[in-house]
Structure 1
Amino acid sequence: MAKLAALEDPKTRAVNEKHGDDHGVNLGKLRAVAKRLKTQQELTCRLRETDGTAARLPAILICRPKAFERHRLDVMLREARTPKVHGRLVNYVVKEYPHADELRSAWFADPDPVVASAGWALTTERVAKKPEGLDPAGLLDVIETRMKHAPDRLQWAMNHCLARIGIEHAEYRARAVAIGERPEVLKDYPTPPGCTSPFAPVRISEMVRRRQDETVA
């Protein structure tokens, strides 16, 4: 904790707070701390007890995902209210958990939009890597009905799933593009040069084009 406190930077905190995060430690420096610590499940639990974002981020990187029980991951997800902790918990821990799909099903329709966004993120992962058993048409129905007025984090997750369906499933591509075009969700999202816009119609078109170019090459 003393090391993390020493890495605190007011300018980093100011930038992070604009995006809903409440810490002032550069992520690269946090990763370096985690790399030195290596895997330590007991320390993971102790760092999480501090209730500080700067401590919870390296805690995620040094844990053993398979060591958690399902109910514990559910509690951790519901406690993860800042975007970086929430996103990294889903991507680095839950996705590596053997029963991640059970959590996906439980979170998908949760009344808490932040929890539901985790369910949608895991669904997007399945669309890309293990689509068997999913209903893309049904997912598109929900996205078409709810995405426009969903809270920000849930809207982002739904939009990402919409784009992934359009990229991975040619038979649903036209409908996915049409759903994205009508509400124009994230159409004006600021995108750095060289990066692909999160706006679903643009993202679908660009990613499909890249795959076609790779196939030709």
Structure 2
Amino acid sequence: MSTAISDVLAQLKSMGDEARRAHNKKNGAPDNQFGVKLGDIRAIAKKIKSDHELGLELWETGNVDAQLLATLIMKPKSISMTELDRLTRSVTCSQVADWLNAYIVPEQPDKEKLRLKWMTAKDPWAARAGWNLTASRINKRTSDFDLTALLDRIEKELPKARPEVQWTMNNTLAAIGIHHADCRSRAIAIGEKIGLYSDWPVSKGCTPPYVPVWVDFMVKRQLAGE
């Protein structure tokens, strides 16, 4: 292990917080973590700026805090499609998945090839990433998807899917309802049928991802902004 990564891990360990560790574990994080607050991780990344090799080393530790930091300092365009697929499938908790999907995946030149691959993946973290990319494209209104086929899949698969996949599949359902008026009533009906899963983690003060309420709120906000 290089001096640089040893120093960073020591810094992360010193910033660990027991309450944060308990919170992370409650939301499915593994024991390999220090429990560093997300704001503190961002502060460390701001000082490091960009260090791709260090980022890769941090990721390979499997430590949650180190992997979160890695997503902020790695160079997305220096990661091959094959390597990104491997990183995605090696995720162990939703927070790391969300930062990887937010900061690394969108910058991958071959992300559409990965999206197609991930949309049929059995691995839950790959599937989560695939549905996340799909929702993102729908939200940006840059998609030419067969929305009826997507709604068919969601209605059939979401109730039995892993929680990791349910979350971004649900996001896709909401995106369809928000941005496609011709599919809105069916998206809402599916949301009503599916309901809200009690094991979906929702931060304090946040609105649960119940599609009928979510779609109604966003559509009204769009109309108010016109």
Shorter-chain TM-score range: over 0.9
Question: Any idea what the Cα deviations from partners look like across 1:70-103, whole Å, max 9, x if unmatched?
Answer: 1000110011121111111111100121111111
- CA-atom RMSD, angstroms? 1.7
How many residues of Structure 1 are paired with residues of Structure 2 in the alignment? 214
TM-score, length-scaled by structure 2? 0.89
> What are the Cα deviations for residues 34-93 of structure 1, in whole angstroms up to 9, with x where unaligned?
110001111111212222111111111011110111100011001112111111111110
1:58 equivalent in alignment to 2:69: yes
* Alpha-carbon distance in 1 for matches of 2:215, 2:38: 29
**Contact 2:105 2:111 (8 Å CA) reproduced:** yes
Q: Which residue identity is paired with 2:212?
A: P
What SS does the aligned partner of 1:4 have? helix
Q: Percent identity?
A: 40
Structure 1 unaligned regions, length at least 5? none
How far the C-alpha of 1:107 sits from its partner, in A, is 0.5
Gap regions ≥5 residues in structure 2: 1-8
Query: SS in structure 2 opposite 1:182?
Result: helix
How far residue 214 of structure 1 moved from its aligned partner, in angstroms, is 1.3
C-alpha distance in structure 1 between counterparts of 2:181 and 2:204, whole Å: 28
Distance 2:12 2:160 in 1: 38
- The aligned residue for residue 37 of structure 1 is 48
2:194 is paired with a residue whose SS is coil
In the superposition, relative to structure 1, how do residues 156 and 59 fare at CA in structure 2: closer, same or farther (>3 Å)? same
Whole-angstrom distance in 2 between the partners of 1:196 and 1:10: 26
TM-superposed deviation, 1:191:
6.9
More displaced, 145-154 or 30-39? Answer: 145-154
188 and 86 in structure 1: CA distance in 2 versus 1, 3 angstrom threshold: closer
SS in 2 for 1:196: coil
Partner of 2:56, secondary structure, is: helix
* Counterpart position of 1:3: 11
Q: CA deviation at 1:188?
A: 9.6
Aligned 8 A contact 1:114 1:153 in 2: yes
Partner of 2:27 in structure 1? Answer: 19
- 1:171 has 2:182 as partner: yes
Counterparts in 2 of 1:62 and 1:19: CA distance versus 1, 3 Å = same
SS at match of 2:104: helix
Indicate how the Cα distance of structure 1 residues 162 and 19 shifts in structure 2: closer, same or farther if over 3 A, else same.
Answer: same
